[in-house]
Amino acid sequence: MANTVSATGKCLCGSVELSTEAVSLNVGACHCSTCRTWVGGPLLAVDCGSDVKISGQASVSVFNSSEWAERGFCSNCGSSVFYRLKHNNQYIVPVGLFGNDYAFDFDHQIFIDEKPTYYCFANKTRDMTGKEVFEQAQSTL
């Protein structure tokens, strides 16, 4: 992945810590109804690829959210910890777990067609509908 750094992040209580050698500095917002239900609003997250190490695994609960993905959360504090694509073991991690030590840039939004009207981001971003997201995913399989 281009534009990446090594990073560590942790859940609210510190029971679960993630580390990766390749967290993307490009933050995306997902507006799909599943993500909004999972985190209580749009999911602001970064791509960490497949090389993610998780310490505190005993505190991680995993929910099989679809045929293609699962979501992990801390069973102690409830923090959302990751969204993982099953076919390639790709981790998408809420950017808030990494704190403020990195030069993140909010540059894209997905499932923009599912975004409710009660909020709007001012950042200029690359926007994709759910259909476009699935078409892009199909082209990489």
Tens-place pLDDT, residues 77-109: 999 999 999 999 999 999 999 999 899 999 999
User: Which domains are assigned to the chain?
Assistant: 4-130 (2.170.150.70)
Contact 4, 25 (CB under 8 A): yes
Q: Which helix (H) or strand (E) holds 27?
A: strand 26-30
What pLDDT shows up at residue 140?
64
User: Nearest Cα to 31, choosing from 141, 118, 90, 124?
Assistant: 118
What is the rounded distance in angstroms from the CA atom of residue 93 to the CA atom of residue 8? 11
Find out whether 128 and 136 touch, Cβ atoms under 8 Å.
Answer: yes
pLDDT exceeds 60 at position 1: no
11's CB contacts (< 8 A; 6+ apart) are 17, 56, 59, 74, 76, 77, 79, 81, 97
pLDDT digit string, tens, across residues 37-92: 999 999 999 999 999 999 999 999 999 999 989 999 999 999 999 999 999 999 99
